[in-house]
Structure 1
Amino acid sequence: MSPRRSATEARNTRSVILDRGVHVASVEGLEGLTIGRLATDLGMSKSGLLGHFGSKEVLQLAVVDTAAGVFVHEVSDRATGVEPGLPRLRALCEAWISYMERGVFPGGCFFTAAVAEFDDREGPVREAVARMIGLWRRDLTFQIRLAANAGQLPGGITTDTDADQLMFELYGVMLSLNHSLRLDRDRAAVDRARRAVARLLGA
């Protein structure tokens, strides 16, 4: 076997492992993600799977990174090319709602679940989840401030404090939507979330 083919096969195997890992972690949590569980699911040996990641923590971090890539593709990238400020903020919020409405992850929003699982813990996995959430909040706040500076927002939102408050409220809408969809199985929550965003950002 050539080195190039061997490297390609290793990358493909790693991708298959991570795809399954994201699926399992979305439903059962990152703590439910074990080398043994994935090896059984994928018909691999534990030693073969360990050869790709080395430890459960490294596997968890790789799954968080993979889930972040999915989120960026399904939410952030959908607003690419939209005018910065209020138009992009609206596009981001609509993509965020659509991501949860379509059930991109089988267990709902991967990061909402991961935050609930790791918020009171310490260590690299918590830091990775917090970093992803922090980047997303930063991006939302940046678009809010652009919209505020351009006078595009309702209610005279102009200050950084107001921008932080609006981001907080938008984030709260999305958390409520995820909980309603996953815990209550309430599909009507999608329309309620869209109405809430329209009220916050202006119809």
Structure 2
Amino acid sequence: MSPRRTVAEARQTRAGIVRHGVAVASVEGLEGLTIGRLAADLGMSKSGVLGHFGDKETLQLAVVELATDAFWRAVWEPVADTPAGLPRLRAVAGSWLRYVASDALPGGCFFMAVGPEFDDRPGPVRSAIAGAADRWHRELLHQARLAGHWPGEEAEQVVFELTGVLLALHAAHRLRRDPSAATRAARAVDRLLVVPDRRTAPGGPVG
């Protein structure tokens, strides 16, 4: 066997371990992602799995990285060519909604599953999860600001509420098995992402 083939096979094996790790972590969390569990699932020895990563934290970080890439491919890339601003924000929201409701992973959205697990646990894994969430928040906020309808802090509020809708969808769909969750979430997004009517203000008509 040539050294080149050996390296390629090692990379392929490592990629397969990480892909399976993403699926497992979506259900059992990153702490449930043990070397022994992966070895048993994949028919490998513990040393064979460990040899690709060195320790559990490195494995967890590789899983977060792959999950981040997969999320952007599934949610962002299909709508990336939509005109920037409100059209793209609406398209991204719809794509995100479909992703959360699609059961693409056994445990649903990876980040909604593992985020609460590490939200108060400082360290490299938390930083990686928070970094992925911050990147997504910045992109949503960028599109909200490009829309030009929500000045200043209003754009932040729109993104905050949009994120809340998707979190509610995940909880209703995964925990309560609510068959109407996706429809209700879509209605909430439609109500949120409308052009504000500024003809009236809290004190009455703007004349």
Is 2:53 aligned against 1:28? no
Partners of 1:49 and 1:115 lie apart in 2 by 25
Corresponding residue number in structure 2 for 1:169: 161
Contact 1:78 1:91 (C-alpha < 8 Å) held by counterparts? no
Corresponding residue number in structure 2 for 1:184: 176
Structure showing greater Rg: 2
Partners of 1:102 and 1:108 lie apart in 2 by 8
Contact 1:84 1:143 (C-alpha < 8 Å) held by counterparts? yes
Unaligned runs of 5+ in 1: none
Greater share of helix:
1
Deviation per residue, 1:123-165 (Å, 9 max, x gap): 00000000000000000000000002xxxx4xxx2x2201101
Unaligned runs of 5+ in 2: 196-207
Which of the residues 194, 198, 201 maps onto 1:202? Answer: 194
Deviation at 1:188, TM superposition (A): 0.4
Partners of 2:179 and 2:116 lie apart in 1 by 22
Corresponding residue number in structure 1 for 2:115: 115
Identity %: 56
RMSD: 1.0
Q: Which amino acid aligns with 2:92?
A: L
Q: After superposition, where does 1:1-203 map in structure 2 within 5 Å?
A: 1-148=1-148, 153=149, 157=150, 159-202=151-194
**TM-score, normalising length: structure 1:** 0.94
Tell me how many residue pairs correspond in the alignment: 195
Deviation at 1:112, TM superposition (A): 1.0
Q: Which amino acid aligns with 2:174?
A: R
Partners of 2:37 and 2:26 lie apart in 1 by 14
**TM-score, normalising length: structure 2:** 0.92
Q: Which amino acid aligns with 1:145?
A: R
- State the 4+ residue runs in structure 1 displaced beyond 4 angstroms: none
Q: Which amino acid aligns with 1:185?
A: R
